[in-house]
């Protein structure tokens, strides 16, 4: 899964890995700016749904950047490994 979030602080791309982590990239950077753990639905189940991944990324962005305005969120469902 790939989530593109456009904000006033730039564009971010988040990828859900096969291990269940979320890698976050900013702009055209090839180095991840953060590795985000997915939210927990019910212990011990991780929320790897589209909404769960998007919410985890949004929460991280809003807690990291002051006065962040999210302009758009686009989710692409891609096969693992792409």
Query: What's the confidence (pLDDT) of residue 31?
Result: 93
pLDDT at 17 over 90: no
pTM: 0.80
The CA R_g of the chain, rounded to the nearest whole Å, is 12
Quick check: 80 and 16 in contact, CB under 8 A? Answer: no
Query: What's the confidence (pLDDT) of residue 23?
Result: 94
Query: What's the confidence (pLDDT) of residue 80?
Result: 57
Reported as a single tens digit per residue, the pLDDT across 28-81 is 899 999 999 888 877 777 878 888 888 999 999 989 988 888 899 898 877 655
């Amino acid at each position: 899964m790939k989530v593109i979030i456009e904000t006033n602080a730039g564009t971010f791309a988040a990828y859900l890995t096969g291990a269940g982590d979320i890698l976050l990239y900013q702009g055209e950077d090839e180095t991840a700016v953060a590795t985000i753990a997915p939210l927990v639905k019910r212990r011990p189940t991780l929320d790897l749904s589209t909404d769960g991944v998007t919410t985890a990324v949004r929460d991280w962005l809003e807690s990291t950047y002051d006065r962040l305005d999210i302009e758009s969120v686009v989710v692409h469902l891609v096969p693992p490994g792409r």
